[in-house]
Chain A
């Protein structure tokens, strides 16, 4: 039976929270690009951490800090759960074979121990790199390389070694490799 008195402690529905992310990330978090990342198929913990890192500024962003700050820890956890259950659909993008090959080498050397299966497997990190939109990947990698985004010590080490060895071109090559979804 319904009553006239609304429950003031009732949380905002997850479906309603998530529907608002779709306006930028695409329905169910499947992004048509050319830049905004898709959200589906990532680990729940990873998504929660990212949103918390946006809130605190540990992770650089253009808009996500302003957005993430609008959600409680409970809402973030429900959003993370929701998107972790949506499919990841790899973005189809044009890539340059030479750069892809170079990116593959760098990936194998610096990143493959955690981002397994060419960045397709989310099991160790919760994040999916392969098939993500290239401009986003390039931008987020630069943020790590420049220290604007913070991450766990080991990944930070890997990033700084990579950047010392290969510079901006190395980042571009990595983004190209992930874009090839190979």
Chain B
């Protein structure tokens, strides 16, 4: 019987940890593992030279921010003594404990995998990675974000922005609705005859009463000339896309043409998770919560969007929180100790208009028997309905503070 995955050998100092993916989860894990035990050799392998945060990327769409302001490099992590390698991981040999990359092989005592998400393009006929370069989902911040922004800029006043929301589970539950709000804010100022239509296969979404309250206040939601319309129901799932006419057809047989089309597809764990055999039938990675060790392979831990960490959602906040818990556990295991009990949190600010933001927070902990992540009773929740204008206003300042502190917590 395994003792929470403690191997028969005790590694102590100079153990090797290889971290795959230098996004929110991977970069946080690298930093916090170094803080927990400076003697561990940490190699962080990331395919891109720098990272663009998805968080705040909706503000690029509304023109409030540039993509450059979302860019973070790896120099600060290097200064902490972490080896950062720019390469693509092609495979993980769990038996030999070797991570294979385009820049050679890296041996590990423990490996932490945080590859983020991939898309189920096959669920929409006519959609693919190639088509997405023309009809961007912009669900990873980068060139697609800039492309979507320029399409919105080029769209004439009076055009329709159709945002196809993804089915559960997906990266960042409030983000489609924050995006709709940001684009509506842009329209309100510059293209007031235009409209945002959210086509949604779900019949409810996170912070819905708060979003709807804000949309009523700011965008005439529910009225005849509303800037945002939410069209929802199981029959509203999109089954096909015609890129040439920028139109989508729903399960219910309805066809909708867009001035600008933003189809956010259904999602699954990042490709590497599949290559490495870390996924189950759901397309995500099952883990034990005491250390986020894969239930399929020993000595490989999976964190962030790719893992199944219910009730934690797939958010950057959660990825960061999981990474910290995983780092503490891995440091303990490499020193021959049983990991201690950990806690987790999630939080999200949505900026929905000028001087108007709102929040949700949730707190969790590893259950006493180490089997599940439990929500801490009587805690968390959203901003209240009918909060004061002043609170919505300062929440924008707190949202920017979160971004500044959070990105430093991850990358610096």
Contacts and interface: CB of A to CB of B under 8 A. Distances in A.
B368 A35 contact: no
A12 B394 contact: no
A34 B401 contact: yes
B329 to A, nearest CB: 9
Nearest to B375: A70
A27 B379 contact: no
Nearest to A5: B369
Contact of B380 (A6, A25, A31, A66): A66
B324 interface: yes
Contacts of A2: 3-4, 6, 337-338
Contacts of A62: 359, 383, 391, 394-395, 398
Given A31-B401, A35-B394, A135-B397, A12 B1 contact: no
Interface string B313-342: 000010011001100100000000110111
Nearest to B392: A62
Interface in A1-60: 2-4, 6, 8-13, 15-17, 19-20, 22-27, 31-36
Nearest to B382: A66
Contacts of B3: 2-4
Contacts, number: 130
A33 to B, nearest CB: 6
B405 A4 contact: no
Interface in A73-132: none
Nearest to A142: B390
A13 B340 contact: yes
B408 A32 contact: yes
A13, A33, A69 pick with most chain B CB within 10 angstroms: A13
Sorting the interface of chain A by its residue count into under 10, 10 to 19, 20 to 34 or 35 or more gives 35 or more
Contact of A16 (B324, B380, B409): B324
Sorting the interface of chain B by its residue count into under 10, 10 to 19, 20 to 34 or 35 or more gives 35 or more
Interface string B357-401: 001010101101110000010111101000000110011011011
Contacts of B381: 66
A67 B381 CA distance: 9
Contact of B402 (A9, A20, A24, A70): A24
Contact of A20 (B324, B340, B401, B405): B324
A167 B198 CA distance: 45
B378 A23 contact: no
Nearest to A35: B397
A9 B397 CA distance: 40
Contacts of B325: 16
A133 B6 CA distance: 45
A35 B390 CA distance: 14
B359 A12 contact: no
Contacts of B341: 10-13, 16
A153 interface: no
Contacts of B376: 70
Given A6-B369, A13-B328, A16-B324, A63 B379 contact: no
A9 B405 CA distance: 33
B404 interface: yes
Contacts of A4: 1, 3
B402 A23 contact: yes
Nearest to B397: A35
B32 A33 contact: no
B406 A24 contact: yes
A8 to B, nearest CB: 4
A168 to B, nearest CB: 12
A9 to B, nearest CB: 8
Contacts of B36: 15
B347 interface: yes
Contact of A17 (B290, B343, B394, B400): B343
Given A20-B321, A23-B345, A36 B401 contact: yes
A29 B56 CA distance: 22
Contacts of B342: 12-13, 16
Contacts of B317: 23
Contacts of A15: 36, 328
A62 B391 CA distance: 7
Contacts of B345: 20, 23, 67
A143 to B, nearest CB: 10
Interface of B: 1, 3-4, 6, 32, 36, 290, 317, 320-321, 324-325, 328, 337-338, 340-345, 347, 359, 361, 363, 365-366, 368-370, 376, 378-381, 383, 390-391, 394-395, 397-398, 400-402, 404-406, 408-409, 412
Given A23-B409, A63-B359, A133-B401, 10 more contacts: A9-B368, A12-B365, A13-B328, A23-B347, A27-B405, A32-B405, A35-B398, A36-B398, A70-B379, A139-B394
28 contacts: A3-B338, A6-B290, A9-B368, A11-B341, A13-B341, A13-B343, A15-B36, A16-B324, A16-B340, A19-B321, A20-B324, A23-B345, A23-B402, A23-B405, A23-B409, A24-B398, A26-B405, A26-B408, A32-B404, A32-B405, A34-B400, A34-B401, A36-B398, A36-B401, A62-B398, A67-B363, A139-B390, A139-B394
What 10 pairs across the A-B complex have the smallest Cβ distances? A70-B379, A70-B363, A35-B397, A36-B401, A8-B368, A26-B405, A19-B324, A32-B404, A13-B340, A70-B376
